[in-house]
Amino acid sequence: MATIKIDDTKPFPNFVKEPENKRESALDFFKRQSNGLKLISDEMEQEKKEQDEIREIQKKSFERKRKLFYDNLDLILRHKDEILASPRYANIDVHYAIKGGGLYVGPLQTSRRFCIAGSIVTVNLRLATLLRIWETDQFRVDCSCGGTALIRSFTGSPLSGGSQATSYCPECKKETRVANRNFGKYFWFLQTRLSEDVETVAKDFIGKWALAEVEYGKKIAEGKTIDPKPGAEFHGDEQYCNLETMIQELKLKEFEEG
């Protein structure tokens, strides 16, 4: 009798996830095969490959930004009031700066993507929002150096309410473990804050469109345009600013002030 040997060091092919295993009748399958038609075209596969490469580059970029952010957190906190008062700084994307998640609820979504009329709109956790989150007791910890450490990652369970977190002190630059804080007060609080950021973006967009319509109406009344469109009067924020630029500007400011 023959002996069947299975090499369990190599995983079985995941046939279920193969594109060609879409559920279809045998007749449809053979018709498609005879016409040389794939369910997933080579062009679609190429697009997926390129998008995966872009995501990998973005991942490395966000890791670099996260390190830069915490290396300069003391600088950022010294200029907190200025950042909150300046939309150019306040709206900087810092979704990579805080991480979380738990059983049953999955990872914390600090970045949301929406497809609106065929255009992708991304709303990320803003710097101003994160700074305000760190004002709450849930996200603050007394550090052994005498400073205040801030929660930057957490995990846990919404059922038990238990959690484990890590905090970072901007003064001594040490990371410490934090236990026995309510998981929901981490997770749902942050989800609510991001939802408020989505609302802020939506209302800002509506406000800018209302201004565009007003400008459009003025030009119509003055006869200054032949083929007027409100979209031509729609504009975004005055100037975009990233984390790297803000940090450099704040360092130069401190240097000039002596």
Q: What is the mean pLDDT of the chain?
A: 88
d(CA 223, CA 26): 66
- Burial of residue 32 (CB within 10 Å: 0-12, 13-18, 19+) is middle
- Burial of residue 36 (CB within 10 Å: 0-12, 13-18, 19+) is exposed
pLDDT of residue 31: 82
pTM: 0.80
Closest CA relative to residue 92, chosen from 197, 204, 193, 242: 242
Which distant-in-sequence residues (6+ apart) come within 8 Å of 205 by Cβ? none
Alpha-carbon torsion angle 184, 186, 190, 191, nearest 10: -30
- pLDDT category, 234, cuts 50, 70, 90? confident
pLDDT tens digits for 192-214? 999 999 999 999 999 999 999 99
Which tokens belong to 86? 């300046």
Average pLDDT over residues 110-133: 93
- Domains of the chain, by residue range, sit at 49-201
Average pLDDT over residues 140-158: 95
How do strand 106-107 and strand 111-116 relate by DSSP bridges?
Answer: unpaired
Residue 158, classed as helix, strand or coil, is: coil
pLDDT of residue 20: 54
Average pLDDT over residues 173-181: 93
pLDDT of residue 66: 96
Closest CA relative to residue 243, chosen from 116, 133, 79: 79
Which tokens belong to 94? 């810092």
pLDDT tens digits for 64-102? 999 999 999 999 999 999 999 999 999 999 999 999 999
Average pLDDT over residues 120-139: 95
Closest CA relative to residue 138, chosen from 97, 195, 187, 102: 187
d(CA 167, CA 148): 9
At 149, the amino acid letter reads: A
- pLDDT category, 226, cuts 50, 70, 90? low
Q: Is the pLDDT of residue 121 over 50?
A: yes
- Burial of residue 25 (CB within 10 Å: 0-12, 13-18, 19+) is exposed
pLDDT of residue 5: 53
Phi then psi for residue 28, to 5 deg, are: -65, -40
Q: Residue holding tokens 């830069």? A: 68
Query: Which secondary-structure segment (H or E) carries 8?
Result: none
pLDDT of residue 186: 95
End-to-end Cα, the chain, rounded Å = 88
pLDDT of residue 84: 96
d(CA 122, CA 198): 9
